[in-house]
Amino acid sequence: MKILSNFSLKHLNTFGIDASADRYIFYTSEDELKHIIDSDQIRDVPILILGGGSNLLFVSNFNGVVLHSGIQGIEKIQENNQEVIIKVGAGVVWDHLVNWSVENGFYGLENLSIIPGNVGAAPVQNIGAYGVEVKDVIEKVEGLYLNDASHFVIPGNECQFDYRQSIFKTSLKGEVVITNVYFRLKKQPGFILDYGSLVDEVNKLGETTLENVRQAVIKIRQSKLPDPEEFGNAGSFFKNPVISFTQFLNLQKSFPEIPHFILGKNSLVKIPAGWLIEKCGWKGKSIGNAGVHHKQALVLVNLGNASGNEIVELAERIENDVFYAFSIKLEREVNVVG
């Protein structure tokens, strides 16, 4: 366990915002976390649960305690000829888990390659990409309540998963800390390739294998998304909005080319937020040190020493323009802190 005061968080958030925390606590086990909760170290003060820092935007210093999980480990719990259940520590880097699953011949996570962040944040956000959401493979989530350090286990089907949504962002927000996530992965092929250009990229690599699907996803993502080491960013800044089928039909009259994904029984339609933003002329544009990436309009970037407020100002300008043009309200994926 490590406890530090007035600790800089600049290298612990992928936007690279220079913010600090009154106190920073790094723990490596559930027992250490229980000790922290049982002590007076976090009583009656604001608490921020930090994972990989890939979904945060600091607009000021954090006047409270940052809890940062370093819980590691990938362990097989159950296994048969068809599937395997694994237990993974919240502090494991997400893509390390995906790589491990591919190397071991386990199916289910390959479409989620190189999503930034740690395992503990995956169920909170219900991360997803290329037709797959992590809810599809989560068996259960466990952790501790912050008020009394009691242990909880929530089955995956009780986590209230929805598009970029879960119980950990609603009724349990600020109430719990995730320590381990259990995944149920397949041992037989079950690829999902009918999203975007994924199948074409896989075919370019030859046979449809776990490794080739992973490499295809990596190639596509790297071609569109900036490296946080070069330009600070949090990946997709906005959610893809979901609108009614009636609203979509009205929009389609003015914009026949509007890309869309029909959900359910033709009642809802998902529209790519990046297309809406690009249509409003924001792709590649900037305000001060905050900009919209020139390859993917869904990504806001720190062009160099941007403040969190500069990025928020840019986001608000984009939101206003999209609403004016399409009557669609963009919702942020990124959590603004401060």
The set of catalytic residues is 164, 236, 333
Give the CA angle between residues 111, 17, 68 to the nearest 5°.
65
* Nearest in space to 120 (alpha carbons), one of 184, 55, 180, 41: 180
Give the integer Cα–Cα distance in Å for 155 and 221: 31
Cβ contact 20:43 at 8 Å = no
**Which residue, 56, 121, 57, is CA-closest to 93?**
121
In whole angstroms, give the CA distance from residue 21 to residue 48. Answer: 9
Residue carrying the six token digits 């309009």:
297
Residue for token pair 């924001």: 282
Q: Which strand ranges, in their side-by-side order, compose the sheet holding 286-287?
A: 232-236, 299-302, 290-292, 286-287
Query: Residue length, the chain?
Result: 338
Helix segments in 56-209, DSSP class H: 94-103, 122-125, 198-205
Neighbours of 80 (CB within 10 A): 8
Please state the separation of Cα 286 from the chain's center in Å: 24
Amino acid present at 157? N
For residues 32 and 134, what is the distance between their CA atoms, to the nearest angstrom? Answer: 27
Query: Taking the C-alpha atoms of 19, 64, 165 and 322 in order, what is their torsion angle to the nearest 10 degrees?
Result: -40
